[in-house]
């Protein structure tokens, strides 16, 4: 990732309307606005939950991207010696899953 948006990214529900995504330096990377989702009084609770889930998905994708790149780099640098592409894929997936929960 860029030095301008250091990891890990996090999120904060600023109000009922806004959810912001921040980089590790505390800078806003993105702000989701329920007004852009066509919120109504009837849909507000459902859309607040959907907006938070969308923000979490964005954060996980960005944060895990770096983990996956590191895992694949380690594997390709022969830390996991194998010519079998399935074993390499399994090793990468296991490393990414293990790192994601740390």
pLDDT at 23: 96
In a domain, 67, yes or no: yes
The C-alpha atoms of residue 34 and residue 18 are separated, in whole angstroms, by: 6
Flag whether pLDDT at 41 surpasses 80.
yes
Pairing of strands 28-33, 18-22: antiparallel
Based on the structure, what is the number of domains in the chain? 1
Q: Tens of pLDDT along 50-95?
A: 999 999 999 999 988 877 787 777 777 766 666 777 777 787 777 7
The DSSP letter of residue 31 is: E
Q: For residue 7, what are its two tokens?
A: 């990891």
Strand partners, 32: 19
The boundaries of the domain holding residue 36 are: 10-100
Mean pLDDT of 41-48: 95
Residue 45 is predicted with a pLDDT of 95
Residue 3, in any domain of the structure: no
């Amino acid at each position: 990732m860029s030095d301008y948006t250091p990891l890990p990214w996090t999120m904060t529900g600023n109000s009922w309307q806004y959810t912001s995504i921040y980089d590790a330096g505390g800078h806003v990377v993105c702000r989701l606005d329920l007004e852009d989702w066509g919120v109504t009084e009837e849909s507000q609770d459902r859309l607040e939950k959907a907006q938070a889930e969308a923000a979490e998905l964005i954060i996980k994708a960005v944060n895990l991207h770096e983990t996956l790149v590191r895992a694949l780099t380690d594997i390709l640098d022969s830390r996991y010696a194998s010519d079998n592409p399935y074993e390499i894929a399994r090793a990468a997936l296991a490393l990414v899953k293990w790192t994601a929960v740390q």
